Structure 1
Amino acid sequence: MALTLRQLKYFVATAELGQISQAAMQLTISQSAVTTAIKELEDSVGTQLFLRTAAGVTLTNTGRHFLNHAYTILSSVDEAMRVPNLESTLSGTLTLAASYTVLGYFLPHHLQRLGAQYPRLTIQLHELNREAIEEGLISGRYDMAVLLTSNVDNPELTLEPMIHSPRRLWLGAQHPLLRREQVTLADVAPEPFVMLTVDEAAYTALRYWTDTPYRPNVKLRTSSVEAVRSMVANGSGVAILSDMVYRPWSLEGRRIETRQLRDIVPPMTVGLAWRRIAEISPGMHAVREYFRHTFMEPRGSAGFN
């Protein structure tokens, strides 16, 4: 089995964080994806790279040596990606729309790398809500968008999901629910709930609550992720949000913990969107190929030739 950059990225994240769950949060993917990648890597190397314990994972002696090589490989690839493609003939302007969460927690790093890879391609960025993005794509004001595709249901648009960020329960460091082996929405329902409203988060939350006989005890509705973080960290409430926006500390320096819910809570899916009948420009093709390569997931043609 051939070694892949995806396996190396997942291996390094797990080695640095010491827990597969924390690596999955940082990478905004599922724990099973990390576990599978590490197993594939160990099969390719022919030996065990981690020792599994109740507290997480630790590197074996072979794993420690392999980590140094992994750092070298990933550093070389990253450096190569930063070198401007001076021979590229790709030029012009691409109008790219993005929603608040995507722009704040996902896109900036990738825009920097796209700029290095395609120095003559100008990307004009617009932050908008989903409705404005959909209307702008259909009317031709925007060429492409990066948004929460899990919120889009428009037959006039082509969607290409890229990552699926699991949603988990956020809790203050001393919250009693942390002592339970399993936590359900029934357990969460009596707790004061901090509801994020930006990017239709409240609407999404109500969809999965509706599938149960329970409802959240909403204490505060806010468009500020930092407000949610502070309220949870200070013990004033709980929240259910995606790993993409998770950070372990509030602005006050208080710890935030997460727990996987036993109930089915859909992930937050981020991806590309464009008008289904649009003529595909070289810039659009380049952006799509960049994201495909970055997330190492083979996909169908999705309307591109």
Structure 2
Amino acid sequence: MSISLRQLRYFIATAELGQISLAAVHLSISQSAITTAVKELEQIIGVSLFLRTPQGMDLTEAGRQFLSHAYDIMKKVDEATHLNFISSEIEGILTVAATYTVIGYFLPLHIERLRRLYPKLEIQLFEQNRESIEEGLLTNRYDISVLLTSNILNPSLTTTRLLGSARRLWVPAQHHLLQRDVVGLKEISEEPYIMLTVDEAAHSSLKYWSGTPYQPKVILRTSSVEAVRSMVANGLGVAILSDMVHRPWSLEGRRIETINLQDPIPAMDVGLAWRKNIEPSPAMMAFRSYFQQTLHLPVFNK
């Protein structure tokens, strides 16, 4: 016997309201229908989901775990029934600006998928820094952008977060910090540090360093992620960078390890930006809808 959506709805209502009678009123069905559905679920799963008490229905530990899965299933069903389907026949030109990190480590796979989904849509891609992208969006040189959104403050732009990539400490294999139970900015400040500068990485890193009494002992500032990777792998320093740009091996074939940090280090946020209060073109709608559905995000605002 398989689990039905009806059983899940009845189970969730009972779990939330705590009484079969209240769940029955809420769903406008009989109490016996809910009782039967819950018993069927328990038989399928093989565990008790509720403790029956004089006060009502209390979730067991298994019931609490199953409720979490039930919420996930119903959320997916809701998303599937409210998809914003966009015709693959969309055509025209979409100008997309992106920053160095996004083009190098995030966007190519998605551009390839978009071109297969919308074969008549020409996506023109431009690499620019944040300031040039902001100016280009406001002057209509670009339709939309994909970039690191944390430094965008222009009130004339709308931004939406696509994902956050955690920042961790990069160290070479066999580094002594790998043996410690706890590593924070205090320990890192005692190590030679490689500072990445591209996409305002240095500015972002100094934000979280400035909230502490410590400072990195910078021995090199570079705009090249591969230079950071090589320097770290060869034991010349350490760095804090995001998982998005991490690769476990340098070009020389030497291993790079990562360490979770004790101090609160903000994730690197990748998102979309476009000019506020514009009427999005079908091409823009298709671009935004692709990311919303692919990454399971809420519907974007205009």
TM-score by length of 2: 0.71
- String of CA shifts for 1:194-238, please: whole Å, max 9, x gaps: 000000000000000000010000010000100000110111000
1:106 aligns with 2:106: yes
Give 1:152 deviation, angstroms.
1.2
Cα deviation, residue 46, structure 1: 5.7
Counterpart of 1:302 in structure 2: which amino acid?
A: N
**What is the deviation of 1:97?**
0.2
Which residue in 2 is equivalent to 1:302? 301
Alpha carbons 2:160, 2:271 under 8 Å: kept = yes
Matches within 5 A, 1:71-86: none
Q: Does 1:282 align with 2:282?
A: yes
8 A contact 2:167–2:268 mirrored in 1: yes
Taking the aligned partners of 1:182 and 1:267, their CA distance within structure 2 comes to 19
Q: For 1:252, what is the secondary structure of its paired residue?
A: coil
Give deviations 1:20-69, integer Å, cap 9, x for gaps: xxxxxxxxxxxxxxxxxxxxxxxxx969xxxxxxxxxxxxxxxxxxxxxx
Go from structure 1 to structure 2 and tell me whether the alpha carbon gap of 1:271 and 1:46 turns closer, same or farther (over 3 Å shift). Answer: farther
| Secondary structure of residue in 2 paired with 1:292 | helix
Is the counterpart of residue 206 in structure 1 residue 180 in structure 2?
Answer: no
CA contact (8 A) 2:160 2:300 kept: no
Aligned to 1:115, the other structure's residue is in SS state: helix
Aligned to 2:149: 149
Report the alpha carbon displacement of residue 154 of structure 1 after superposing the two structures with TM: 1.3
Letter in 1 for 2:164: H
The one-letter code of the counterpart of 2:241 is: L
Deviation at 1:300, TM superposition (A): 4.5
The unaligned stretches of length 5 or more in structure 1 are 4-44, 48-84
Task: Give the 3-state SS of the residue equivalent to 2:237 in structure 1.
Answer: coil
Largest Rg, 1 or 2: 2
Find the counterpart in structure 2 of residue 177 from structure 1: 177
Structure 2: stretches of 5+ with no match in the other structure: 6-43, 47-85
Alignment-derived partner of residue 78 in structure 1: none
**Is the Cα–Cα contact under 8 Å of residues 288 and 300 in structure 2 kept in the other structure?**
no
Correspondence list, 1:12-161, <5 A = 88-161=88-161
Closer, same or farther: CA 173–130 of 1 in aligned 2, 3 Å? same
Assess if the C-alpha contact under 8 Å between 2:145 and 2:273 holds in 1: yes
What CA distance in whole angstroms lies between the structure 2 residues aligned with 1:228 and 1:2? Answer: 52
Q: Which residue of 2 aligns with 1:231?
A: 231
What are the Cα deviations for residues 129-183 of structure 1, in whole angstroms up to 9, with x where unaligned? 0000000001110000000012211111000110000000000001100000110
Alpha-carbon distance change, 112 to 211 in structure 1, aligned in 2, over 3 angstroms: same
Aligned-partner Cα distance in 2 for 1:46–1:168: 40
Alignment partners' CA distance in 1, 2:161 and 2:125 = 20
- How does 1:255-270 map onto structure 2 within 5 Å? 255-270=255-270
Q: 1:254 to 1:46 in 2, by over 3 A?
A: farther
In the aligned structure 1, how far is the partner of 2:109 from the partner of 2:152?
Answer: 24
Give the Cα separation in 2 of the matches to 1:153 and 1:175. Answer: 39
| SS in structure 2 of the partner of residue 213 of structure 1 | coil
Q: Find the aligned partners of 1:170 and 1:218 in 2 and give their Cα distance.
A: 14
Q: What amino acid is the match of 2:219?
A: K
Contact 2:292 2:299 in 1 (8 A): no
The TM-score normalised by the length of structure 1 is 0.70
Distance 1:236 1:200 in 2: 23
Question: How far apart are the structure 2 equivalents of 1:159 and 1:2?
Answer: 39
Given the superposition, is the C-alpha separation of residues 147 and 46 from structure 1 closer, same or farther in structure 2, using an over 3 Å criterion? farther
- 3-state SS in 1 of match to 2:160: strand
